[in-house]
A and B are shown apart, each in its own frame.
Chain A
Amino acid sequence: MLDTIIYTLQDFMTYTKGITYLIMGGILIFMPLFWYFLTGRE
């Protein structure tokens, strides 16, 4: 349990920004695929 506790702002920013960048990477892959699905029949 102890290893999931964030003690400093530095840790908090590193953790949340790291997760955010991973999500943004996922979005970068997902959105063009969704666009491809959306316009696939045109």
Chain B
Amino acid sequence: MIHLIGGPPRVGKTLLAERAARGIGASWISTDVIRSVIEVGQPGLTHIVWGETEGIQAHAASFFPYLDRLLWGVNSLRGPYVIEGVDFLPEQAVRLAERYPVRSVFLGHSAMTGPSSATTSGGSRGSPEPRLNNSA
């Protein structure tokens, strides 16, 4: 089973991935890793406009082939795996579930407050910080 965790930045996806992976004896990876790999070869390709619905949807659509390939690889490992990230939406999760053994949950924060900052970013923390963990 592949467990997908999606949602905006800073809502607890990584923490949930760590907990869930530990609980089921799985490894986990953030899509930040994939995005940073893509950026090495094609700078700017994964640029996200956070403040616009259309920008988020367009990014998720353009990222889908890479995510699909990741799941293809992970699925070949035959064990449980957790994948978390900002780079896909429920629509992509549903499409992936048609092809792979996938279970998904999305997180959100409907009342977050705080100082404004840049409207664009390559990742959830400004510059992508690849996260890779093999806890199994």
- The judgment on whether A and B are partners is no
A residues adjacent to B (C-beta < 8 A): none
B residues adjacent to A (C-beta < 8 A): none
